Amino acid sequence: MRFTRALSAAVVLLGLAAAPAAADSSPSASPSGDGDAPTTAGTSFRTATEFEQGQAATASGAAGDYLYWSFPADAGQRPTVKATVKLPETHAAQTWRVDVYDGLRRRQACQWGVQARTADAGTSSVELACVLRTVRAWTEPWANDPLPGTYYVRLTAVNVPTSDLGVPVSAEVRADSKDIGGAAAVDGSLAEPLVPGIAVTSGTGSASEDDEDDRGAVLSAIEPEDGWSSGWWSDRWVWSGIGAVLAALAGIGGYALTRGSGRPTRVPPGA
Protein backbone atom coordinates (compact mmCIF):
# COMPACT_ATOMS: atom_id res chain seq x y z
CA MET A 1 0.00 0.00 0.00
CA ARG A 2 2.80 2.43 0.90
CA PHE A 3 4.57 1.59 -2.35
CA THR A 4 1.38 2.27 -4.36
CA ARG A 5 0.94 5.70 -2.73
CA ALA A 6 4.58 6.57 -3.38
CA LEU A 7 4.25 5.51 -7.02
CA SER A 8 1.12 7.66 -7.49
CA ALA A 9 2.84 10.72 -6.00
CA ALA A 10 5.84 10.16 -8.27
CA VAL A 11 3.62 10.04 -11.36
CA VAL A 12 2.10 13.41 -10.41
CA LEU A 13 5.56 14.92 -9.88
CA LEU A 14 6.69 13.47 -13.19
CA GLY A 15 3.84 15.18 -15.03
CA LEU A 16 4.54 18.53 -13.38
CA ALA A 17 8.24 18.31 -14.15
CA ALA A 18 7.71 17.34 -17.76
CA ALA A 19 5.42 20.32 -18.45
CA PRO A 20 8.17 22.99 -18.66
CA ALA A 21 10.32 20.61 -20.68
CA ALA A 22 7.60 20.28 -23.28
CA ALA A 23 7.23 24.04 -23.40
CA ASP A 24 10.97 24.51 -23.94
CA SER A 25 11.01 22.09 -26.88
CA SER A 26 8.33 23.93 -28.83
CA PRO A 27 9.29 26.27 -31.67
CA SER A 28 9.99 29.84 -30.66
CA ALA A 29 7.08 32.25 -31.03
CA SER A 30 7.07 34.68 -33.92
CA PRO A 31 6.26 38.38 -33.60
CA SER A 32 2.59 39.18 -33.99
CA GLY A 33 3.04 40.99 -37.29
CA ASP A 34 5.41 42.43 -39.87
CA GLY A 35 4.35 46.04 -39.40
CA ASP A 36 7.86 47.11 -38.40
CA ALA A 37 9.68 44.83 -40.83
CA PRO A 38 12.45 46.69 -42.71
CA THR A 39 12.13 47.44 -46.42
CA THR A 40 15.80 48.12 -47.16
CA ALA A 41 19.04 46.16 -46.97
CA GLY A 42 22.59 47.15 -46.11
CA THR A 43 25.57 46.92 -48.42
CA SER A 44 28.12 45.56 -45.89
CA PHE A 45 28.38 43.94 -42.46
CA ARG A 46 28.56 47.35 -40.78
CA THR A 47 25.41 48.62 -42.50
CA ALA A 48 23.39 45.39 -42.34
CA THR A 49 19.69 46.06 -41.75
CA GLU A 50 18.42 44.56 -38.49
CA PHE A 51 15.22 42.53 -38.32
CA GLU A 52 13.64 40.22 -35.77
CA GLN A 53 13.03 36.52 -36.18
CA GLY A 54 9.60 35.88 -37.65
CA GLN A 55 9.65 39.09 -39.68
CA ALA A 56 9.86 39.18 -43.47
CA ALA A 57 12.48 41.76 -44.41
CA THR A 58 12.24 43.06 -47.98
CA ALA A 59 14.49 45.17 -50.17
CA SER A 60 14.92 46.34 -53.73
CA GLY A 61 18.28 46.09 -55.42
CA ALA A 62 20.08 45.15 -58.60
CA ALA A 63 21.78 42.04 -59.89
CA GLY A 64 25.39 42.19 -58.77
CA ASP A 65 24.65 44.01 -55.49
CA TYR A 66 25.45 42.58 -52.06
CA LEU A 67 22.43 42.74 -49.75
CA TYR A 68 22.98 42.39 -45.99
CA TRP A 69 20.58 41.84 -43.09
CA SER A 70 21.12 40.80 -39.46
CA PHE A 71 19.00 39.08 -36.80
CA PRO A 72 19.56 37.76 -33.24
CA ALA A 73 19.86 34.06 -32.37
CA ASP A 74 20.21 32.69 -28.83
CA ALA A 75 21.69 29.52 -27.37
CA GLY A 76 19.59 26.42 -27.98
CA GLN A 77 18.01 27.77 -31.18
CA ARG A 78 18.44 26.26 -34.64
CA PRO A 79 17.86 29.12 -37.12
CA THR A 80 16.45 28.64 -40.60
CA VAL A 81 17.03 31.44 -43.11
CA LYS A 82 14.87 31.61 -46.23
CA ALA A 83 15.30 34.04 -49.11
CA THR A 84 13.16 34.72 -52.19
CA VAL A 85 14.40 36.79 -55.12
CA LYS A 86 11.94 38.10 -57.71
CA LEU A 87 13.50 38.66 -61.13
CA PRO A 88 12.36 40.75 -64.12
CA GLU A 89 10.59 39.14 -67.05
CA THR A 90 13.69 39.26 -69.27
CA HIS A 91 17.05 38.15 -67.91
CA ALA A 92 19.84 35.69 -68.59
CA ALA A 93 20.62 32.72 -66.35
CA GLN A 94 21.64 33.93 -62.88
CA THR A 95 22.98 32.03 -59.87
CA TRP A 96 21.85 33.44 -56.53
CA ARG A 97 23.41 32.53 -53.20
CA VAL A 98 22.58 33.16 -49.52
CA ASP A 99 25.30 33.00 -46.84
CA VAL A 100 24.95 33.31 -43.08
CA TYR A 101 27.70 34.60 -40.75
CA ASP A 102 27.85 34.65 -36.96
CA GLY A 103 28.80 37.55 -34.68
CA LEU A 104 32.49 36.95 -35.38
CA ARG A 105 31.74 37.17 -39.11
CA ARG A 106 32.57 33.51 -39.60
CA ARG A 107 30.56 31.90 -42.39
CA GLN A 108 28.38 29.16 -40.94
CA ALA A 109 27.79 25.99 -42.91
CA CYS A 110 24.23 24.93 -43.68
CA GLN A 111 23.05 21.58 -42.34
CA TRP A 112 20.63 21.33 -45.23
CA GLY A 113 18.72 23.53 -47.61
CA VAL A 114 19.38 24.94 -51.08
CA GLN A 115 21.99 27.61 -50.40
CA ALA A 116 22.64 28.43 -54.09
CA ARG A 117 20.35 28.03 -57.07
CA THR A 118 20.48 29.01 -60.72
CA ALA A 119 17.51 30.83 -62.21
CA ASP A 120 17.26 30.03 -65.89
CA ALA A 121 16.32 32.69 -68.42
CA GLY A 122 12.70 33.68 -68.01
CA THR A 123 12.37 32.36 -64.45
CA SER A 124 10.34 34.80 -62.39
CA SER A 125 11.76 33.98 -58.95
CA VAL A 126 14.29 31.86 -57.09
CA GLU A 127 13.99 30.50 -53.54
CA LEU A 128 16.90 29.72 -51.22
CA ALA A 129 17.13 28.22 -47.72
CA CYS A 130 19.81 27.55 -45.13
CA VAL A 131 19.27 25.59 -41.91
CA LEU A 132 22.11 26.33 -39.49
CA ARG A 133 23.47 24.16 -36.72
CA THR A 134 22.12 24.67 -33.22
CA VAL A 135 23.53 27.76 -31.50
CA ARG A 136 25.73 26.83 -28.54
CA ALA A 137 26.11 28.83 -25.33
CA TRP A 138 29.87 28.21 -25.28
CA THR A 139 32.51 26.53 -27.43
CA GLU A 140 36.24 25.96 -27.68
CA PRO A 141 38.27 28.83 -29.21
CA TRP A 142 39.41 26.61 -32.10
CA ALA A 143 35.89 25.43 -32.99
CA ASN A 144 33.60 27.03 -35.55
CA ASP A 145 30.38 26.35 -33.64
CA PRO A 146 27.64 29.02 -33.93
CA LEU A 147 27.48 31.20 -30.81
CA PRO A 148 24.69 33.43 -29.44
CA GLY A 149 24.53 36.93 -30.82
CA THR A 150 23.94 38.70 -34.12
CA TYR A 151 23.79 36.70 -37.34
CA TYR A 152 24.35 38.27 -40.75
CA VAL A 153 22.59 37.25 -43.95
CA ARG A 154 24.25 38.06 -47.27
CA LEU A 155 22.30 37.65 -50.49
CA THR A 156 23.93 38.13 -53.87
CA ALA A 157 24.09 36.86 -57.44
CA VAL A 158 27.34 35.24 -58.55
CA ASN A 159 28.75 35.08 -62.09
CA VAL A 160 26.18 37.55 -63.38
CA PRO A 161 26.43 38.13 -67.14
CA THR A 162 27.51 41.63 -68.08
CA SER A 163 24.18 42.18 -69.82
CA ASP A 164 22.33 41.59 -66.53
CA LEU A 165 24.45 43.75 -64.22
CA GLY A 166 22.23 46.42 -62.70
CA VAL A 167 18.96 44.66 -63.61
CA PRO A 168 16.43 45.54 -60.86
CA VAL A 169 15.36 42.76 -58.50
CA SER A 170 13.42 42.52 -55.24
CA ALA A 171 14.26 40.24 -52.34
CA GLU A 172 12.58 38.93 -49.22
CA VAL A 173 14.43 37.33 -46.30
CA ARG A 174 12.97 35.60 -43.26
CA ALA A 175 14.57 33.87 -40.25
CA ASP A 176 12.86 31.46 -37.87
CA SER A 177 14.24 29.19 -35.17
CA LYS A 178 13.36 25.88 -33.59
CA ASP A 179 14.11 25.65 -29.87
CA ILE A 180 16.20 22.49 -29.40
CA GLY A 181 16.32 22.79 -25.59
CA GLY A 182 18.49 20.74 -23.28
CA ALA A 183 19.65 18.39 -26.04
CA ALA A 184 22.05 21.14 -27.13
CA ALA A 185 23.01 22.38 -23.64
CA VAL A 186 26.70 22.68 -22.74
CA ASP A 187 28.56 23.45 -19.54
CA GLY A 188 29.55 27.11 -19.80
CA SER A 189 28.36 30.29 -21.47
CA LEU A 190 29.72 33.44 -23.03
CA ALA A 191 30.12 36.48 -20.80
CA GLU A 192 28.20 38.55 -23.38
CA PRO A 193 26.42 37.70 -26.66
CA LEU A 194 28.33 38.48 -29.85
CA VAL A 195 26.54 41.63 -30.97
CA PRO A 196 27.99 44.76 -32.63
CA GLY A 197 29.42 47.22 -30.10
CA ILE A 198 29.52 44.83 -27.13
CA ALA A 199 33.33 45.00 -26.91
CA VAL A 200 33.24 48.81 -26.80
CA THR A 201 30.46 49.09 -24.22
CA SER A 202 32.10 46.43 -22.04
CA GLY A 203 35.41 48.29 -21.84
CA THR A 204 36.70 49.46 -18.49
CA GLY A 205 38.72 52.44 -19.65
CA SER A 206 37.89 55.90 -18.27
CA ALA A 207 35.85 58.20 -20.50
CA SER A 208 33.56 61.17 -20.20
CA GLU A 209 29.80 60.80 -20.05
CA ASP A 210 29.46 62.03 -23.63
CA ASP A 211 31.91 59.40 -24.84
CA GLU A 212 30.00 56.72 -22.94
CA ASP A 213 26.76 57.80 -24.59
CA ASP A 214 28.41 57.60 -28.01
CA ARG A 215 29.72 54.13 -27.24
CA GLY A 216 26.31 52.91 -26.16
CA ALA A 217 24.79 54.14 -29.41
CA VAL A 218 26.74 51.60 -31.48
CA LEU A 219 25.43 48.62 -29.52
CA SER A 220 23.03 46.48 -31.54
CA ALA A 221 19.40 47.20 -30.72
CA ILE A 222 18.10 43.73 -31.56
CA GLU A 223 17.81 40.80 -29.17
CA PRO A 224 15.52 37.76 -28.74
CA GLU A 225 11.93 38.48 -27.73
CA ASP A 226 12.51 37.11 -24.20
CA GLY A 227 16.02 38.56 -23.86
CA TRP A 228 19.34 36.75 -23.95
CA SER A 229 19.48 33.54 -21.94
CA SER A 230 21.96 33.21 -19.07
CA GLY A 231 23.26 29.95 -20.51
CA TRP A 232 23.05 27.85 -17.33
CA TRP A 233 19.37 26.84 -17.34
CA SER A 234 17.90 24.31 -19.74
CA ASP A 235 15.33 21.52 -19.63
CA ARG A 236 18.27 19.15 -19.12
CA TRP A 237 17.91 19.98 -15.41
CA VAL A 238 14.27 18.87 -15.54
CA TRP A 239 15.11 15.53 -17.10
CA SER A 240 17.95 15.04 -14.62
CA GLY A 241 15.44 15.54 -11.79
CA ILE A 242 13.05 13.07 -13.40
CA GLY A 243 15.85 10.52 -13.61
CA ALA A 244 16.65 11.01 -9.92
CA VAL A 245 12.98 10.50 -8.98
CA LEU A 246 12.76 7.31 -11.06
CA ALA A 247 15.97 5.98 -9.51
CA ALA A 248 14.59 6.63 -6.01
CA LEU A 249 11.33 4.85 -6.90
CA ALA A 250 13.28 1.88 -8.24
CA GLY A 251 15.15 1.66 -4.95
CA ILE A 252 11.94 1.86 -2.91
CA GLY A 253 10.26 -0.74 -5.11
CA GLY A 254 13.20 -3.11 -4.86
CA TYR A 255 13.24 -2.81 -1.09
CA ALA A 256 9.48 -3.39 -0.83
CA LEU A 257 9.68 -6.53 -2.96
CA THR A 258 12.67 -8.12 -1.23
CA ARG A 259 12.22 -7.27 2.46
CA GLY A 260 9.67 -10.06 3.06
CA SER A 261 7.19 -10.06 5.95
CA GLY A 262 9.70 -9.18 8.67
CA ARG A 263 12.04 -11.14 10.95
CA PRO A 264 11.40 -14.93 11.05
CA THR A 265 9.60 -16.33 14.09
CA ARG A 266 11.92 -18.00 16.61
CA VAL A 267 11.12 -21.58 17.46
CA PRO A 268 11.80 -22.40 21.16
CA PRO A 269 14.46 -25.09 21.69
CA GLY A 270 13.06 -28.59 22.10
CA ALA A 271 9.72 -27.69 20.57
Q: What is the pLDDT of residues 87-133, one digit of tens each?
A: 998 889 999 999 999 999 999 999 999 999 999 988 999 999 999 99
Is the pLDDT assigned to residue 195 strictly greater than 60?
yes
Is the pLDDT assigned to residue 31 strictly greater than 50?
no
160 vs 166: CA distance, rounded Å: 10
How much is the pLDDT for 2?
45
Cα distance between the two ends of the chain: 36
**List of residues 6+ apart from 53 with CB closer than 8 A:** 28, 30, 31, 71, 72, 73, 79, 175, 176, 177, 224, 225
Report how far apart, in Å, the C-alpha atoms of 105 and of each of 100, 102, 150 are. Answer: 9, 5, 9
How much is the pLDDT for 252?
87
**pTM for this model (two decimals):** 0.69
153-179 residue pLDDT tens: 999 999 888 888 989 999 999 999 988
Residue 147 or residue 214, greater confidence? 147
Burial pattern 241-269, b for ≥16 Cβ within 10 A else e, equals ebeebeeebeeeeeeeeeeeeeeeeeeee
| pLDDT above 90: percentage of residues in the chain | 39
Q: Which of 201, 183, 184 is nearest to 192 (CA)?
A: 201
How much is the pLDDT for 197?
75
Rg (the chain; Cα; Å): 28
How much is the pLDDT for 187?
63
How much is the pLDDT for 254?
84
How much is the pLDDT for 110?
94
Is the pLDDT assigned to residue 255 strictly greater than 90?
no
Residue 38 or residue 240, greater confidence? 38
